[in-house]
Amino acid sequence: MLFSDDHQPEPPPSTWEPGKTYSYTRTRFVPVYPYVGEVEVRMGLYPYPGRGERPALKGEDKGFREYKVATLELLPQTENIFPVYKEGWHNPETHPENPSVERTWTKKEALMSFKNPKQDVIVYLEGDTCVKCFTKTPELTLTVGKNVGLTFPIEGPQVYLKKVKVKAADLGNEEWTDLRLTMNESFVPKNLNPPLNNDDRELGFNVYHLFVVSAEQAGKVDGVVDAVAVSKPSAEASPQPKVAAKKN
């Protein structure tokens, strides 16, 4: 098994009725593996509480009520749009509750460049931040190429996933295109009142995934928004030390 995606279906299976079809959409980031070729996508339900076997579904049973539902082709990494992480990034670190999840904090502003494919792309950005550590509602601006992108408030502690389509004309004509993540503020955990911990780094947004893919290669993607012209955020560093943190 290369990776899994255990989760609660929507709506819950306890509400399902025989003969009906239920569907919903999830975005899953495939981990990097030294494997190229076709793989099977299999699905199954956990047993109902107090019962010893999985519920039966309609499909090709591969054993133990584990059903083949699709195939996926893993391409060589050279097929990806190559990114280069520049200034404004801290070292990657694992999630304290799930060591298999890696994330990277930015400073107030972080810069990443990618090889310009000269065609429309979709930028995937997934991450979160410490909302209570800011003096006002955190706001993140993603800008690409000719200052187009997306600005959105971060109003809760949940993980946000944004998918932004950028037209080829907005990537420019250079060999490389810049992508910036800019927060309206940053914070230092050690300088909060009371201190959050002993971390003395300047922190902005906590990135779980940041990918740029060809829109043509990605195909039909749910939840994509078109990049628009955005005001260039200020790159000034936030004043330190920080004032008292707000409560949720």
Say what the pLDDT of residue 245 is. Answer: 44
Return the ∠ at Cα 227 (arms to 134 and 168), rounded to 5°. 135
Model confidence over 127-171: pLDDT tens digits? Answer: 999 999 999 999 999 999 989 999 999 999 999 999 999 999 999
Please report, for residues 62, 113, 192, 206, the alpha-carbon distance to residue 132 in angstroms, rounded to integers and kept in the order given: 47, 30, 10, 14
- Mean pLDDT, the chain, as a whole number? 89
Please report, for residues 75, 189, 195, the alpha-carbon distance to residue 245 in angstroms, rounded to integers and kept in the order given: 45, 10, 9
Boundaries of CATH 2.60.120 in the chain? Answer: 80-229
Q: Which of 224, 128, 144, 145 is nearest to 183 (CA)?
A: 128
Measured distance CA(153)–CA(139) in Å, rounded: 4
Say what the pLDDT of residue 233 is. Answer: 53
What's the pLDDT band for 232 if we cut at 50, 70, 90?
low
Token couple for 197: 């911990």
The partner residues of 115 in beta bridges, in order of sequence, read 176
Model confidence over 9-67: pLDDT tens digits? Answer: 999 888 989 889 999 988 988 887 888 999 999 999 998 777 778 888 889 999 999 99
CATH architecture assignment, domain 80-229: Sandwich (2.60)
Q: Containing H/E element for 168?
A: helix 168-171
DSSP E strands in the chain: the ranges are: 37-43, 60-61, 67-74, 83-85, 93-95, 98-105, 109-115, 121-128, 139-144, 148-153, 160-166, 176-183, 206-214, 224-226, 228-229
Return the ∠ at Cα 135 (arms to 129 and 138), rounded to 5°. 40
Measured distance CA(205)–CA(128) in Å, rounded: 6
Q: Count Cα atoms within 13 angstroms, Cβ side, for 212.
A: 29
What's the pLDDT band for 212 if we cut at 50, 70, 90?
very high
Nearest-10 Cα torsion for 56, 57, 59, 60: -30
